[in-house]
Amino acid sequence: MLKKIAILLIFLIILVAMLVFTRLNPGLISVDLAFAAVETSMPVAFTVTFIAGWLFGIVCSAAFVIRLINERRQLRRALQLSESEVSSLRSLPLSDAD
């Protein structure tokens, strides 16, 4: 519950900051993309940059999470093998050292 409220609060803060930034910077800028030049307002350029950075962060995080999921799967498999080995060893009769 608290996590959802914190996320909503952060989202609202970012939204308000974007609205204030839009109001204070109404000018146009030219953005050179190496293959084309685009003239757009400053808030739109910053919003697109923000979204691109956010998406890049999600992709990087997803790669890390996928790596962790694969490692977890391998560890679970190794644990099951170890548990089955221990179980089979427990069922063996004890032999005397005579």
Query: What's the pLDDT score for residue 96?
Result: 60
Query: What's the pLDDT score for residue 10?
Result: 92
Query: What's the pLDDT score for residue 18?
Result: 78
Query: What's the pLDDT score for residue 98?
Result: 53
**pLDDT greater than 90 at residue 12:** yes
Residue 42: partners with Cβ closer than 8 Å, 6 or more residues away = 25, 26, 27, 28, 29
pTM above 0.85, yes or no: no
**pLDDT: is 5 or 94 the higher one?**
5
Tens digits of per-residue pLDDT, 43-73?
888 888 888 998 999 999 999 999 999 999 9
Stretch 69-97: mean pLDDT: 88
Question: In this structure, are residues 67 and 55 in contact, taking their beta carbons and an 8 Å threshold?
Answer: no
Tens digits of per-residue pLDDT, 38-49?
898 888 888 888
Q: Which helix (H) or strand (E) holds 80?
A: helix 42-91
